[in-house]
A and B are shown apart, each in its own frame.
Chain A
Amino acid sequence: MYTMQAVAVLTQPNAPLLTMTGICKSFGSQEVLRAVDFDLCAGEVHVLAGENGAGKSTLMRILGGALRADAGRTTIGGRQAVLRHPRDAAAHGIAVIHQELSLVGSMSIADNLFLGREPSTAGWLHRAGSLERARELLARVGLRLDPRRTVDSLTISSQQLVEIAKALALDARIIVMDEPTSALSAPEVQHLFARIADLKSAGCGIIYITHRLEEIYTIADRISVLRDGNLVATRRAEDLPAGELVRLMVGRSMSEQAPRHATAQTKVRLRVEHCTVRAARPGLPPIVADVSLQVHRGEILGLVGLEGSGVSELLWTVFGALGKRGSARVEIDGRPTSIHSPRAAIDAGVALVTNDRKRTGLIPGMDIIANTTLASLPRLSPAGWINRAAEARQASDSARRLNLLAASLRQSVSSLSGGNQQKVVLARWMGTQPRIVLLDDPTRGVDVGAKHEIYLLMNQWSEQGRSIVFSSSEWPELLHVSHRIMVMHRGRIAASFEGGRAGPADLLRAAMGATADA
């Protein structure tokens, strides 16, 4: 119903298809969006740019009906729209295409296209009709596939096009694409862009989120920049050069960060050469492409990259945790070391704190002591019999050093706050006495106090001569803590900076793949 009216309004060129005004959203005490205004015209691609955590996804989740705004109004085709549920958004002709596709892999393309709205009479499906309609829709996105094929059997890029066809099946006029190219090869990206051009000429408006500068300037008509929940600019793409865009995303105030340390000039502790991580499917560029780096004794090396840059995969490979997908030549203290499993890495004195403590860090049912000592049990139980006194001593020592807040060490880790959970993970790696610590975004989702404790621990480790590779999604902290910073873009080292020689804007430029003079 709504969509028919929307179409009528939209036949006039450049009529605003969507207007969002004064959108506010807070999670607890944290303001994520502050009175954001955003609009979208028919037949345009409007790029939404911003750093990690700037509020882009929150805004799009509000538009998609997955979240409700605290304040503000949304107008679609000139009429106020109430978006309480993804269903409402669909009824208003809004389709959101996420990075994780929302197709049911075991079902056929046709079934996916009409899921929830199957053409039927009294529950009896119109099979022939829906196949016919599915073929039409697939043709519109340039796919010549049998609609009876299961979605599982398609490549990621075809799945993405099926997702777009599904948006067309819904008569969607407002299409949100959240980093659609992150898993695509270059020709597939070209094909996607051609389909986006088709959608534009068909009168759809497209909201496009990406971290890649070259894409922004290939397809954007307009660009809006979000920073810390504020909309800082909306301009035509030709009026917003790359340098200016990056400056707006970062904000001026943060570029004057004092460096903490000079580079430690000591012996090389960790040398990684030719680190390569294959993509999950053949035909795609590698996730990490022949990266080499070295870290000195006591040095904190900051590693920066936007989503999909390969930073985490690089760390996992050095830790031997990616199996056959990742390979690297690793030398520790000048000696070639073969690390083929996490156990081997631990024995060689390497520790890895992953960026997702719930999925890859904590063991939920176990208490603080058992979680803390898990990686050092071979030492605490040489004959297989756990020395419970030594175990409790180690846990309470590290708990004291990290200022862990808990009622008892026998408490389950599930009942701890995010910051204290992260301290338990760090305590686990204090226990193995590592020479090299790989920290993948260790301050994600922890409170300010715990962040401070983590920096203190890193300093301590550094002073003890341990080497640290530190990645973080919060660049100010990374600039603050690191002796040296390397920036990764699409699996390669795009730039490196000595401590204090770079600001957030430099990092962002390099991480988005801008050439040195952009």
Chain B
Amino acid sequence: MPETPDKPAQPLALDRAERPGWRTWLSSSSATALAALCFVLLIGTLFSGDGAFYKWNTHRDALRQASVYGMLACGMTFVIITAGIDLSVGSVLALVAVAFSILSIHLSWSPWLAIPACLALGATCGAASGAVIARLRIQPFIVTLAMMVFARGLAKTISGGRKVSTAMQLPDGSWTAADVPHVFRAIDSRLLGDNISVVSLIFILCVVISWIILARLRWGRYLYAIGGNEEAARLSGVPVTIMKVLAYSLAGIFSAIAGLCQAAQEQQGDPEAGIGYELTAIAIVVIGGTNLMGGRGGIGLTLLGTLTIGYLDKILSINAVPEASRLMLTGVIIIVAVLLQRRKD
């Protein structure tokens, strides 16, 4: 069969490995994702909730509320780039929130021990999923669905099914209130004259780390290669199994970070926390424009997606739109965003 003829191409400008011009950029995924965010912000200026939209505190809160979802979405981005999916992030968040609360409130561990232990717990959950997916070749959807159920069960087991809070039952049956651990207050505080939440800064840090991994490290290149064409990647010497375990471990670690923040903000570890968060995380990644088929996308898109979803929610809430309508609108926006993205693929 004859191949498609060459697109008009000139001999390569070999001395410059230059980036494509702004015209190319205009039709890129980042441009679409940015346009979606601007559109949402424009709605904000039109329906500003009696001027609430023009107050920095509104933006600060929008950022803070979106941050936990954003952290989950960072982890999800790695997995989706390898053409996988991770349904367990919400449950891992709850498991870590419970574990962090027990360690910090009940056992009074130092945060220098408790935080690494919690991150390791998240990483272990992810690595377990990744290992089963890569070695036993079971579909990611199934494996992470199982991990979602398992981690939820584990969270309920170690918490005894109750919220782990500062209210502690003594052996004689009476209740006492422990102090809120210092680390909880620190994570839940604001910096720069009350103008930015620590949780938002943690989210930004997650984005930066993810960007480095995806855009600057060999690891990231391998993740894209696996998602784009797994067999070709394997034949080019990419350690496919190890990299898949890595992708799910990263998703686990970012879920754990989200779990730490969740526990600190609620000042308790709720084994029922994070139900349905995996779907929000997937929606964020998809709205950003990272392709569920794998191999394409990036963390910048996920950042834009997080802001879009976060602002949408905030703008609707300052305008006192009831939650029922907000959910329906979010559903519509997901479809519109994906249609816009598909234009170019």
Q: B2 near A321 (CB under 8 angstroms)?
A: no
Give the residue name and chain of the A residue nearest to B227 (CB): A365
A407 touches B228 (CB 8 A): no
Q: Is B12 an interface residue (CB 8 A)?
A: yes
Output the nearest chain A residue to B1 by Cβ-Cβ distance: A27
Interface: B235 (CB within 8 A) = yes
Across the interface, B17 reaches (CB within 8 A) one of A345, A386, A395, A447, namely A395
Inter-subunit contact B221/A377 (CB<8 Å): yes
A353 nearest CB neighbor, chain B only: B235
A417 at the interface (CB under 8 A from B): yes
Residues on the B chain within 8 Å of A369, using CB? 17
Are the C-beta atoms of B295 and A366 separated by less than 8 Å?
A: yes
Among the 9-residue stretches A34-42, A354-362, A500-508, the one with 4 or more Cβ atoms under 8 Å from chain B is: A354-362
Number of interface residues of B (CB under 8 A): 41
Name the one of A359, A360, A364, A396 contacting B228, with C-beta atoms under 8 angstroms.
A364
A377 touches B7 (CB 8 A): no
Once the chains bind, are A405 and B225 in contact (CB under 8 Å)?
no
B2 touching A30 by the CB < 8 A rule? Answer: yes
A343-B237, A375-B236, A384-B217 known; A359 and B6 CB under 8 Å?
no
A410 at the interface (CB under 8 A from B): yes
Which chain B positions have C-beta within 8 A of A377?
218, 221-222
**Contacts known (A346-B237, A359-B231, A419-B3); A408 close to B224, Cβ less than 8 A:** no
Q: Is A60 on the interface with B (CB-CB < 8 A)?
A: no
A502 to B235, CA, bound (A): 34
A374 touching B225 by the CB < 8 A rule? yes
Is B11 interfacial (CB-CB < 8 Å)? yes
A121 contacts the other chain (Cβ, under 8 Å)?
no
Asked if A27 and B2 sit within 8 Å, CB to CB, the answer is yes
Interface size on A, residues (CB 8 A): 55
CB <8 Å contact, A410 and B3: no
Selected contact of A396 from candidates B17, B19, B225, CB within 8 Å: B17
Most buried by B among A370, A374, A404: A374
A399 proximity list for chain B (CB < 8 A): 12, 14
Least CB distance, B199 to chain A, in whole angstroms: 29
Tally A-B pairs: CB < 8 A.
134
CA distance A346 to B296 in the complex (A): 26
B237 / chain A contacts, CB cutoff of 8 Å = 342-343, 345-347, 374-375, 378
Determine the distance from Cα of A11 to Cα of B219 in the docked complex, in whole angstroms: 70
What distance in Å separates the Cβ of B296 from its nearest Cβ neighbour in chain A?
Answer: 4
A399-437 contacts to B, CB under 8 A, are 399-400, 403-411, 415, 417-420, 428
B136 CB–A CB distance under 8 Å:
no
Q: CA–CA, A406 to B10, complex, Å?
A: 6
Chain B residues with Cβ below 8 Å from A360 are: 229, 231-232, 235
Name the A residues within 8 Å of B216 (CB-CB): 385-386, 388
Question: Do A417 and B224 have beta carbons less than 8 Å apart?
Answer: no
Task: Give, as a whole number of angstroms, the nearest-CB distance from B135 to chain A.
Answer: 13
What is the bound-complex CA distance between A396 and B11, given in angstroms?
12
Contact indicator A29/B2 (Cβ below 8 Å): yes
Please give the distance in Å from B1's CB to the nearest CB on chain A: 6
Residues A354 and B17 in contact, CB atoms below 8 Å apart: no
B5 within 8 A of A: yes
Is A143's beta carbon under 8 Å from chain B?
A: no
Please name the residue on chain B nearest to A344 by beta carbon.
B237
**Cβ–Cβ contact B3 & A418, under 8 A:** yes
B4 touching A396, Cβ below 8 Å: no
CA distance A125 to B201 in the complex (A): 64
- Contact status A364-B295, CB under 8 Å: yes
Structural contact, B20 and A408, CB atoms closer than 8 A: yes
- Asked whether B231 lies within 8 Å of A28 as measured between CB atoms, the reply is no
Question: Which A residues are CB-close (under 8 A) to B238?
Answer: 343, 374
B residues in contact with A362, CB < 8 Å: 229, 232
Task: Give the Cβ gap from A160 to chain B, nearest Cβ, in Å.
Answer: 27
A289 within 8 A of B: no
Most buried by B among A375, A408, A411: A408
| A contact residues around B217 at 8 Å (CB) | 381, 384-386
**A91 contacts the other chain (CB 8 A):** no
Q: Name the contact of B221 in the complex, choosing from A28, A386, A420 (C-beta under 8 A).
A: A386
A388–B17 alpha-carbon span in the complex (Å): 10
B225 A363 Cβ-Cβ under 8 A:
yes
The yes or no answer to B9 lying at the interface (CB within 8 A) is yes
Chain B CB within 10 A, most for which of A319, A364, A392: A364
- The answer to the question of A352 belonging to the interface, with a C-beta cut-off of 8 Å to chain B, is yes
Check if B170 is an interface residue, CB within 8 A of chain A: no
Q: Per-position contact with A for B20-36: 1 when CB-CB < 8 Å, else 0?
A: 10000000000000000
Task: Determine whether the beta carbon of B296 is less than 8 Å from that of A365.
Answer: yes
Q: What separation, in Å, do the CA atoms of A347 and B228 have in the docked complex?
A: 23
A86 interfacial contact with B, CB 8 Å: no
Q: Is the CB of A407 within 8 A of B218?
A: no
- Whether A363 lies near B224 (C-beta < 8 A) is yes
A285 proximal to B (CB < 8 A): no
B239 on the A face (CB < 8 A): yes
Residues of B within 8 A of A445 (CB): 1, 3
Complex Cα gap A407–B11 (Å): 7
CA distance A411 to B20 in the complex (A): 8
B233 adjacent to chain A (CB < 8 Å): yes
How far, in angstroms, from A253 to B198 measured CA to CA in the complex? 80
With a cutoff of 8 Å between Cβ atoms, the chain B residues found around residue A404 in the complex are 12
Shortest beta-carbon distance, A477 to chain B, in Å?
17
Contact A363 B295 (CB under 8 A): yes
> Which residues of A sit under 8 angstroms from B219, Cβ to Cβ?
384
A321 to B236, CA, bound (A): 10
In contact, A342 and B221 (Cβ under 8 angstroms): no
CB distance from A393 to the nearest CB of B (A): 8
Query: Which of A343, A365, A392 counts the most chain B CB atoms within 10 A?
Result: A365
A342: contacting residue among B6, B19, B235, CB under 8 A: B235
How far, in angstroms, from A359 to B13 measured CA to CA in the complex? Answer: 29
Q: Which residue of A lies closest to B19 (CB)?
A: A410
B342 within 8 A of partner (CB): no
Given contacts A366-B295, A378-B218, 18 further A-B contacts (CB under 8 A): A319-B235, A342-B234, A343-B237, A345-B237, A346-B237, A352-B235, A359-B231, A364-B228, A365-B228, A370-B221, A370-B225, A374-B225, A392-B17, A396-B14, A400-B14, A406-B9, A410-B18, A417-B4
28 contacts between A and B (CB under 8 A): A27-B1, A27-B2, A346-B236, A361-B235, A362-B229, A362-B232, A364-B229, A364-B295, A365-B295, A365-B296, A370-B225, A374-B225, A378-B237, A385-B216, A385-B217, A386-B218, A386-B221, A392-B17, A396-B15, A405-B6, A405-B12, A406-B9, A406-B12, A407-B12, A408-B17, A409-B17, A417-B3, A428-B236
The 8 closest A-B pairs by CB, nearest first: A418-B3, A363-B228, A392-B17, A365-B295, A365-B296, A343-B237, A375-B236, A417-B6
